[in-house]
């Protein structure tokens, strides 16, 4: 009987250690995933949000007479609408382009 009690105590301790190790593994995995997420956020998401905000600010600042580069074509803005703008690419040649196609604005 004495051997059985010792074996039971050892088995109980072993099971407790295994559970603690598993919980430690899950905790470590959670911390690891959290660190990876934070790194991705600070090196990818935040800079991209900043670039998109600057791009939107540039699009909102376009006015008649600005020289722009849109879809690989340089031209002068003639009219500005909500989602599109008309630009003159040569004397008398006016095309309509999406504001999202604008790559650069020269004031």
68 and 91 part of one domain: yes
70 plus 35 within the same structural domain: no
Whether 44 and 96 map to the same domain: the answer is no
Go through 33-52 and write b for each residue having 16 or more CB atoms within 10 A of its CB, e for each that does not.
Answer: eeeeeeeeeeeeeeeeeeee
Question: CA-CA-CA-CA torsion for 43, 44, 49, 55, nearest 10 degrees?
Answer: 100
Same domain? 45 vs 79: no
Single pTM value for the model: 0.62
User: Are residues 68 and 107 both part of a single domain?
Assistant: yes
Domain count, the chain: 2
pLDDT for res 1? 46
Tell me what pLDDT residue 28 has. Answer: 77
Residues of the chain with pLDDT under 50: 1
Domain span at 8:
1-60
What tens digit of pLDDT does each residue of 29-44 get?
788 888 899 898 988 9
The conformation of residue 96, written as its DSSP 8-state character, comes to E
């Amino acid at each position: 009987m004495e051997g059985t009690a010792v074996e039971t105590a050892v088995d109980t301790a072993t099971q407790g250690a295994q559970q603690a190790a598993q919980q430690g593994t899950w905790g470590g995995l959670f911390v690891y995933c959290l660190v990876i997420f934070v790194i991705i956020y600070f090196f990818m998401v935040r800079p991209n949000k900043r670039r998109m905000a600057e791009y939107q600010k540039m699009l909102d600042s376009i006015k008649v007479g600005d020289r722009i580069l849109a879809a690989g074509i340089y031209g002068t803005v003639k009219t500005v609408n909500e989602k599109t703008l008309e630009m003159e690419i040569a004397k008398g040649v006016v095309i309509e382009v999406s504001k999202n196609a604008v790559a650069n604005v020269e004031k």
